[in-house]
Structure 1
């Protein structure tokens, strides 16, 4: 959790890619609700820290698609048996990391924003992993814009996903308590990131995050 909070604070992605496979191996019941609950303060903090850099134009189109696709993620989650959830999360993690590694340079359009929002709403609600589509859209933007806009998009979507999951009985108060006992470690990671986020090469860090995601996703699938 410390590492996940630190990486998210530095690069704007990586929290779910790091934490979801580990949680899937240790306690799959934490996914996706506890993961989504933990990501709310992470992204709220990043948005507040770099609020002047948010791309509100892109955020608007991503948000529309993100909210619209959330019910599809719930359908996937309820259709997959708990015994197979680890396989789904591992596959989603590996696929997301591979796409992020091989995607070519491009300038994001409205269609790209909408596509990223749709993909994120589906995958994040179902598995807790939704960062790579957003990172792809902003991967060639300045680091503050990437971090702040991705965080704002996450924050909106997470609140919608949490409300829908609780309303449909997916997860319970126990999942929220699972998240609460990890909060101190999360705070440590965020505070550490705030000390060095302006000095770290985010591209190199992003590569390390994606390699870790590939390895941990494969391990989770095999287990």
Structure 2
């Protein structure tokens, strides 16, 4: 990997970590598309690996606000979806996967704009976890289902609960990828080299995360999901 590519990825990772640490989502939506363009061999492993310490930090920072019961149901679905995500990663061409995820994300955003505030039940949490398991294991991007599920919750609950769900799911996905021989030395090296940039962005988010919440956070959630969905459609 060239110095220019490494520098670009470090900047992108720092910005993505700041956005995720501030709003509760956005790391993969920002980092994965850029990584896919300049160094596609790093996906999905490096995005998943970098999100482990990031989400551990966010979940611990606002641990008092975690919805433990909801996180448990989501993680149950995520466990099931991870196997499906690996199967998709092996069997489906990336262009078709991007098209499917992009269309589903855009539809989810449009539905959220039309549907009033709701409290998701256990079936919705399990389904969101399963969908996230498939998409994140296959592509590194799994945020939209979880953030749409929590878009009407208080900001600390959204950030901490989504971070915990991501953390559990990423560990599961990485273990599956490791067991199947999908992780290589280049991906491990890139993860280690990019850790300082990740830490810088995460620590910077600590200064402003308490100022982000309510309608502004919901707007940010929907905007991130919509942009990511459209970007995936254009890529496909």
- Identify whether the pair has TM-score above 0.5, normalized to the shorter chain: yes
Residues in 2 aligned to 1:10 and 1:93: alpha-carbon distance in whole angstroms = 24
Contact 2:109 2:222 (8 Å CA) reproduced: no
Can you list the C-alpha shifts for 1:89-112, whole angstroms capped at 9, x where unaligned?
465246325423532232110111
1:115 equivalenced with 2:152 (yes/no): no
Gaps of 5+ in 1: none
Displacement after TM superposition at 1:69 (Å): 1.7
Contact 1:50 1:148 (8 Å CA) reproduced: yes
Can you list the C-alpha shifts for 1:107-136, whole angstroms capped at 9, x where unaligned?
110111111111111111111111111112
> Where has structure 1 moved over 6 Å in runs of 4 or more?
none
Paired residues in the alignment total 218
CA gap of 1:117–1:207, structure 2 versus 1, over 3 A, is closer
1:135 equivalenced with 2:147 (yes/no): yes
Residues in 1 aligned to 2:168 and 2:211: alpha-carbon distance in whole angstroms = 28
Contact 1:64 1:117 (8 Å CA) reproduced: yes
Q: Which residue of 2 aligns with 1:95?
A: 104
1:174 equivalenced with 2:174 (yes/no): no
User: Equivalent residues in 2 for 1:27-38 (5 A)?
Assistant: 27-38=39-50
Can you list the C-alpha shifts for 1:41-97, whole angstroms capped at 9, x where unaligned?
1100001100000000101111111112211100000113xxx43663465246325
Q: Which residue of 1 aligns with 2:167?
A: 155
Q: Which residue of 2 aligns with 1:202?
A: 217
Q: Out of 21, 25, 29, which is 2:37 matched to?
A: 25
Higher mean C-alpha deviation, range 47-56 or range 23-32? 23-32
Residues in 2 aligned to 1:130 and 1:217: alpha-carbon distance in whole angstroms = 13
Residues in 1 aligned to 2:23 and 2:107: alpha-carbon distance in whole angstroms = 18
Q: Which residue of 1 aligns with 2:228?
A: 213
Higher mean C-alpha deviation, range 152-161 or range 16-25? 16-25
Q: Which residue of 2 aligns with 1:70?
A: 82
Q: Which residue of 1 aligns with 2:57?
A: 45
Displacement after TM superposition at 1:220 (Å): 2.9
Please give the secondary structure, in 2, of the residue aligned with 1:198. helix
Gaps of 5+ in 2: 1-12
* Higher RCO (CA-CA < 8 Å; seq separation 6+): 1
